[in-house]
Amino acid sequence: MEQSFALKRTKDVLWIIAIAGLVAMIGRTFFGLGASTNLTDGVPWGLWKVMNMVAGVCLATGGFLVACAVYVFRIEKYRPLVRPAVLIAFLGYGASGFALMFDIGLPHRIWHPLIPTMWNYHSFLFEVTICVMTYFAVATLEFLPILFERFPWRKITHFLHEIALPFVVLGITLSTLHHSSLGSLFMVSPTRLHPLWFSTWIPIEFLVSSIGAGMASIVLITIIYSKLYGKQLNMPLLTGMARASGVTLVIYFLIRAVDFTLHGKWTYVFVNRTPESYIFMIEIMIAVFIPAVIFLAPRLRNNLKWLVIGTASAVAGVVMYRLDAGIVGYFRDAGAIYLPSLSELFFSFGVFAAAALVFLFVVEHYYIYEPPPACAAPEAEGAHPDEAPQWTWAEFISIFNNPNALRISLIIVAVIPLSILAFKDTAIRPFQFLKAPVSAALGDDPMRHNLRIDGNRNGQFVIFPHEAHKDARLIGEGSCATCHHLDLPGDHSTACFHCHRDMKLATDIFNHDLHQQKLGDKDSCVQCHNLNLPKGGKNAKSCYECHHEDMNGMTAEFNHLAPGYEDAMHGKCLTCHRLVGDLEKNCASQRDCPSNCAFCH
């Protein structure tokens, strides 16, 4: 197929974004969310989850809408859009699920929701996960007949066509549940989410807005396809769907208007104005007013330029609604503004770019927007789609002999190093903790029998029964070295915070200047270093050689780096608690079991 200049440049841009996203994905995999994102505890849901999962899936709604219209309501005029809609749903849900896998802390545990013993029935997020996974499986089954019809597997293809209707109905049900449950996720934060976006009506608002945007996205993608490949548009078909989208978006606005009226929210828009008020007005203008005016005015929606403006506005507006509800609405409570890192941006758009490349590949080699020749011929009335012309294996293999492979290779070679350079401060370096100096434990009673361990003074303390550990659990004064494993010279039972001086960061507790002063300035070098070798930490005596009396609980391998306070507390406490926990397997509750976090926290 001869490709136009616009199509080639479009593919080049998509390849650039997809390869940059791949670099960001690798950085996230090896260095974690902390290194590759700008997420905080105040705004823990960033671009990947909201853009790819919440908003991206919204735009894939067209798959179940068109299937519902054709297979359930028998509106045959929309049948030419069934295949594109199924493909869009398959890619949309697949891309969103792929992005979600990298958004969770441990991507390799993405399979856990599939195991019944790991289910959390009370979580909206669990319901969303199950719906997404199941609907993607359904979308895959709906897409397989399109994929198989070019191969000599007529019986399989025919069987998949025969069983399509039950899966279409299941897909409609799952998608409806999924979009309403996405809205339900935000109902768990009534005091945090800004009133302009929090509502007990948010499930129905999410569902209706996704229906309007889903239809607009199919129209927009179809127009883009026609321009890139020089195909003729079926304007009556597209304008009919645009009109339905406009009506749906008006219904969505009316639902929100009633919600605002009943719950007294208009004051946040027109009286007590804040930056969120203006963001909300822009969102409604883009998501509802612009597309509704265009879609419901025959003269405008029949004009291709206005149709593009309207569909692009509807898509962008509903995406903005999701971003506002998932991110912007939390700025006020968090007291901070979240801006995604460069690696977040490229990974998020890289997933969309990769899905777009797959979309272009499929429409070029399968019958998506055009019916198979056997079905298009007049004499073939009643011919089944699985009777489409089939590839020979040689023809199939020839698909991958890409004449543009050299250009793509050059893009890869150029983009990878540039991406690494661009992401060097985020996605390709380990996460750097902020310094958090540690303070001494406080006495929880006048005799300090119990200590309040709150190193960074954030109020999340643990009560440590010091006297009980010393007398009953660790058998007297001789047990001190179990916890106080290293004492400063001339000290007895040095407190933890003297060495573990930062909550997260390791601390170098070796004072070189002090040692030099005590041992005789430059003459002291020979006492610790072999002068025939370069001076440094690797060419020095072990601390244990001189300070073994102060290191009752240490070994000669100690390298003068004290781990962070949190790691030290967990490392020392958990060693004993787990031993005790193994002996007390039949705990009455989590708080009664020493090996469980809830025992201390």
Per-residue pLDDT tens over the stretch 250-296: 999 999 999 999 999 999 999 888 999 999 999 999 999 999 999 99
Residue range 517-537: average pLDDT?
74
Residues 466, 476: Cα–Cα separation, whole Å: 11
Residues 392, 375: Cα–Cα separation, whole Å: 20
- Say yes or no to pLDDT of 584 above 70: no
CA triple 105-109-113, angle to 5 deg: 115
Residues 6+ positions from 407 with CB-CB distance below 8 Å: 12
- Say yes or no to pLDDT of 373 above 60: yes
282 vs 146, 276, 291, 313, 570, CA distance in Å?
A: 40, 10, 13, 11, 49
**Per-residue pLDDT tens for 16-57?**
999 999 999 988 888 888 778 888 777 778 888 888 777 777
26: its two tokens? 């690798």
Per-residue model confidence (pLDDT) at position 284: 96
Residues 322, 313: Cα–Cα separation, whole Å: 14
Q: Are 59 and 40 in contact (CB under 8 A)?
A: no
CATH class of 442-509+560-599: alpha beta
Q: Where are the domains of the chain?
A: 38-340, 442-509+560-599
Greater model confidence, 337 or 398: 337
Highest-scoring range by mean pLDDT, 515-529, 531-545, 562-576? 562-576
Per-residue model confidence (pLDDT) at position 380: 37
Per-residue model confidence (pLDDT) at position 108: 80
Q: Are 56 and 99 in contact (CB under 8 A)?
A: yes
**Per-residue pLDDT tens for 395-415?**
666 666 667 777 888 888 888
pTM of the shown model: 0.73
Proportion of the chain above pLDDT 90, given as a percent: 26
Rg (CA), the chain: 31
Greater model confidence, 596 or 298: 298
Proportion of the chain above pLDDT 70, given as a percent: 86
Residue (of 109, 78, 158) closest to 387 by Cα position: 158
Q: Are 47 and 38 in contact (CB under 8 A)?
A: no
Per-residue model confidence (pLDDT) at position 377: 41
CA triple 343-47-295, angle to 5 deg: 125
Strand order in the sheet with 451-453: 442-443, 451-453, 462-464
Per-residue model confidence (pLDDT) at position 140: 85
Element of type H or E holding 253: helix 235-262
- Letter for the amino acid at 12? D
Q: Are 111 and 154 in contact (CB under 8 A)?
A: no
Per-residue model confidence (pLDDT) at position 315: 93
Mean of per-residue pLDDT scores for the chain: 82
Per-residue model confidence (pLDDT) at position 269: 92
Q: Are 371 and 78 in contact (CB under 8 A)?
A: no
Q: Are 163 and 145 in contact (CB under 8 A)?
A: no
- Say yes or no to pLDDT of 495 above 60: yes
Count Cβ atoms within 10 A of the Cβ of residue 147 and give its class: 0-12 exposed, 13-18 middle, 19 or more buried.
Answer: middle
Residues 149, 89: Cα–Cα separation, whole Å: 19
Coil, strand or helix at 264: coil
Instruction: State the CATH architecture for 38-340.
Output: Up-down Bundle (1.20)
Residue (of 140, 1, 160, 164) closest to 79 by Cα position: 164
Residues 482, 475: Cα–Cα separation, whole Å: 11
Residue range 217-223: average pLDDT?
94
pLDDT-based confidence at 379, cuts 50/70/90? very low
